[in-house]
């Protein structure tokens, strides 16, 4: 028996009454009011208006292009309808003598007032008006609003919804937690959102602040908070090796941790010492650490990761560090080699660009336990990699990995009886609202202090028309013996964007600065070519590095104290903040020049202004959240599931704390209701909340 192909609704995930009930409108049209054509001509020039009449003329015209022109009239006036794209069925439908009801905006056309592509309904002169606002649903190509509306109405009448949307949250609990009692029961709220009455407050419906929306948002947040709190509790029931600090004895060789401390050419800052104390305590527990380490670019997260790795290796376990790009992973590899090889530690390097033989040797070292410290990219979570005794996994720039990938390393590193400790690191600060929702099952540490000697970076915003001045200033900079970055957004010329390319900039700067060595690095270079350029830059054999955003993370050249970012208006908040953090790593005063091309959009203008005024990563992260939403910041988009459909983390932040309190109460007082609530809202998606 052949399986039938999915319907258009099923392709949208609307495959059950519950899915259809939760497919809520994005906006509404008011079809409850009808105006004469004469009234419509006077009122409809600035907003959508509804009128009706009989078709007195219908013809296809071919100048200036093929189009359908239909004229309708009533007792008061006539009105032309223009359709630039139409089907033969529409032409047949609007034949002379048909009675139609149309909705649209009246505009001035070639032959007088007209509606272009109005919504059309076939009616009789006395057809009743709807009593509720008409919902407009999110839809994919090829599926009409009529089909979705009909399916939703049918779903709302389905008997199964009585259970699926039933009111099982204890009224006493809701009364104690919720700030108001005007929120309707859930099923009533959802029915209202699909069919709001004609006199509904359309502003609060569109802004999603109506009591019916609030009830839906609260329930969704409650499911998320329950899932996260339960994941946190489940983690504490799992077994992990306990890594207590090894007490030093005078007649015994120092531990790896002690040896690393002695070898470091600097002392930990107060913030680093505090964070290391928190992580050290986690590592001593018998359940797996699940900690997020936040710290601005250059705050010193890498040394904390090294200390955690040393603690694991002191107890005979392996440690792994995974980074999203080869450049960043290689930076970690070089730094760890410098610190650990003198202590006799064997380090394995694993990336996708390794030759087959090198990859096989690395995999054998890892599986045989010869490699104590393993550093690499996504290659670490590929099927052929098997760890001998992994005790710690460090995931750097964790938001750059998809949720499934972060789950995979969790699931790979142990069995039901054994889990390794996990430390996630991010130079992109997590806004408070994001931390309270998507990261609520993580423990969070923040390095909020830069190492001694680091100077603040001065940021300047400059028009692209002053490019020659910038190059002249760059020459003065290089004359002082300092190095610089020149960052471009594209490698090849784009006819659409017409941006200066990295290759063009490299050639121009090579000619303009003949006494200095200019290097070029971009994503299409082979791994060894990139590494050679970066090594030459670090050794000051290259004074100016022209690059694309491959240098966004993982490059540490203290002598590079100037960065020019070309077409800065094309970069996002987080990208510029990350790039800017590549300078300011030495003792020289550091400058970042954001060069932009006009005209600037309002969003780009605000972004550049913010970046000029602040280097506070948390302020920048909040702005980034408001611009992009949580999906991109989390890496959730890579999983294919947006975890919150109806909640806006900034608009609805006050609801998060209510949901946290309610989740705690449900878990402790009404455990029997927890599964029902999770199934209603998350179904199989609960696994993503554990990442």
pLDDT at 493: 53
Distance separating alpha carbons of residues 340 and 256, to the nearest angstrom: 8
pLDDT at 286: 92
Burial of 95 (0-12, 13-18, 19+ CB in 10 A): exposed
Tokens of 136: 């407009």
Strand-pair partners of 102:
51, 120
Angle in degrees, CA 456, 305, 388, rounded to 5: 160
Q: Are 668 and 188 in contact (CB under 8 A)?
A: no
Angle in degrees, CA 526, 529, 530, rounded to 5: 85
Distance separating alpha carbons of residues 549 and 574, to the nearest angstrom: 12
Strand-pair partners of 635:
none
Q: Are 143 and 150 in contact (CB under 8 A)?
A: no
- Which of the residues in the chain have pLDDT under 70? 1-2, 249-252, 383, 398-418, 429, 431-433, 435-441, 452-454, 490-500, 549-555, 618, 622, 625-643, 683-691
pLDDT digits (tens, 9 = 90+) for 652-690: 888 888 998 999 999 999 888 888 888 888 764 555 444
Q: List CB contacts of 1: < 8 A, sequence separation 6 or more.
A: none
**544-547, strands of its sheet edge to edge:** 457-463, 590-596, 560-566, 483-487, 544-547, 518-521
Cα–Cα distances in angstroms (integers) from residue 262 to residues 250, 268, 341, 446, 678, in the given order: 15, 12, 14, 24, 50
For the chain, the average pLDDT equals 83
Nearest residue to 23 via CA among 131, 114, 145: 145
Nearest residue to 649 via CA among 663, 633, 638: 633
Tokens of 565: 């970012």
Distance separating alpha carbons of residues 129 and 462, to the nearest angstrom: 58
Say how far residue 322 (Cα) sits from the centre of its chain: 20
Pairing of strands 67-73, 49-61: antiparallel
Burial of 267 (0-12, 13-18, 19+ CB in 10 A): exposed
pLDDT at 399: 52
Buried residues in 144-167 as b, exposed as e (16+ CB within 10 A):
eeeebbebbeebbeeeebeebbee
- How far the first Cα of the chain sits from its last, in Å, is 39
Buried residues in 204-214 as b, exposed as e (16+ CB within 10 A):
ebeebebbbbb
What structural domains does the chain harbor? 33-129 (2.40.50.140), 256-447 (3.40.50.300), 457-614 (3.40.50.300)
Distance separating alpha carbons of residues 343 and 300, to the nearest angstrom: 21
Pairing of strands 49-61, 290-295: unpaired
Cα–Cα distances in angstroms (integers) from residue 513 to residues 132, 471, 474, in the given order: 70, 9, 9
Give the SS3 label for residue 675: helix
Q: Are 323 and 397 in contact (CB under 8 A)?
A: yes
pLDDT at 530: 80
pLDDT at 634: 45
Stated pTM of the model = 0.69
Alpha helical stretches, state H, 301-377: 301-314, 326-340, 356-368
């Amino acid at each position: 028996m052949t399986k039938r192909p999915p319907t258009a609704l099923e392709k949208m995930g609307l495959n059950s009454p519950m899915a259809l009930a939760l497919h809520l409108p994005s906006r509404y049209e008011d079809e409850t009011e009808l105006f004469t054509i004469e009234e419509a001509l006077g009122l409809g020039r600035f907003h959508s208006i509804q009128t009706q009449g009989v078709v007195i003329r219908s013809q296809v015209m071919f100048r200036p292009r093929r189009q359908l022109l239909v004229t309708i009239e009533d007792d008061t006036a006539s009105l032309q309808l223009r359709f630039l794209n139409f089907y033969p069925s529409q032409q047949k439908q609007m034949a002379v003598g048909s009675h139609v009801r149309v909705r649209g905006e009246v505009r001035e056309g070639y032959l007088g007032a007209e509606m272009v592509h109005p919504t059309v309904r076939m009616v009789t002169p006395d057809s009743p008006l709807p009593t509720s606002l008409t919902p407009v649903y999110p839809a994919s190509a090829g599926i009409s609003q009529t089909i979705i509306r009909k399916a939703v109405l049918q779903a709302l009448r389905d008997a199964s919804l009585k259970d699926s949307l039933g009111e099982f949250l204890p009224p006493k609990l809701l009364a104690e937690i919720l700030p108001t009692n005007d929120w309707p029961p859930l099923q009533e709220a959802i029915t209202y959102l699909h069919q709001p009455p004609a006199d509904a407050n359309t502003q609060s419906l569109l802004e999603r602040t109506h009591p019916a929306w609030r009830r839906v948002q609260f329930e969704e947040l409650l499911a998320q908070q329950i899932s996260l709190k339960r994941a946190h509790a489940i983690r504490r029931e799992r077994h992990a090796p306990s890594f207590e600090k090894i007490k030093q004895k005078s007649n015994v060789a120092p531990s790896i941790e002690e040896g690393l401390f002695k070898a470091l050419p600097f002392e930990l800052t107060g913030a680093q010492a505090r964070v290391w104390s928190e992580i050290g305590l986690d590592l001593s527990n018998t359940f797996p650490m699940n900690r997020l380490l936040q710290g601005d670019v250059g705050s010193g997260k890498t040394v904390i990761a090294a200390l955690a790795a040393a603690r694991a290796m002191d107890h005979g376990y392996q440690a792994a560090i995974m980074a999203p790009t080869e450049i960043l992973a290689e930076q970690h590899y070089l730094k760890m080699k410098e610190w650990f090889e003198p202590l006799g530690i064997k380090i394995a390097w694993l990336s996708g660009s390794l030759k087959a033989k090198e990859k096989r040797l690395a995999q054998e070292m890892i599986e045989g336990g010869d490699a104590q410290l393993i550093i690499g990219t996504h290659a670490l979570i590929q099927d052929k990699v098997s760890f001998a005794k992994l005790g710690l996994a460090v995931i750097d720039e964790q938001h750059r990995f998809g949720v499934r990938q972060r789950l995979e390393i969790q699931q790979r590193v142990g069995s039901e009886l054994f889990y390794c400790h996990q430390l996630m690191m991010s130079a992109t600060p997590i806004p408070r609202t994001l931390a309270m929702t998507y990261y609520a099952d993580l423990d969070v540490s923040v390095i909020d202090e830069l190492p001694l000697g680091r100077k603040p970076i001065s940021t300047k915003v400059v028009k692209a028309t002053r490019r020659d001045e910038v190059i002249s200033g760059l020459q003065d900079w290089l004359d002082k013996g300092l190095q610089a970055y020149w960052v471009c957004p594209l490698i090849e010329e784009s006819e659409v964007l017409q941006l200066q390319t990295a290759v063009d900039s490299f050639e121009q700067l090579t000619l303009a600065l003949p006494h200095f060595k200019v290097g070029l690095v971009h994503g299409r270079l082979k791994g060894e070519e990139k590494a050679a350029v970066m090594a030459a830059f670090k050794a000051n054999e290259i004074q100016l590095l022209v690059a694309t955003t491959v240098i966004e993370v993982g490059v540490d050249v203290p002598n590079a104290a100037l960065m020019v970012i070309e077409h800065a208006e094309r970069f996002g908040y987080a990208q510029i903040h990350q790039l800017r953090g590549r300078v300011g790593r030495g003792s020289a005063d550091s400058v970042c020049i954001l060069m932009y091309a006009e005209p600037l959009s309002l969003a780009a203008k605000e972004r550049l202004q913010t970046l000029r005024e602040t280097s506070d990563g948390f302020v920048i992260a909040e702005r980034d959240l408001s611009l992009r939403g949580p999906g991109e910041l989390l890496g959730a988009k890579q999983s294919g599931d947006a975890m919150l459909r109806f909640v806006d983390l900034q608009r609805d932040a006050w609801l998060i704390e209510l949901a946290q309190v309610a989740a705690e109460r449900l878990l402790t007082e009404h455990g029997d209701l927890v599964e029902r609530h999770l199934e209603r809202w998350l179904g199989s998606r609960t696994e993503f909340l554990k990442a």
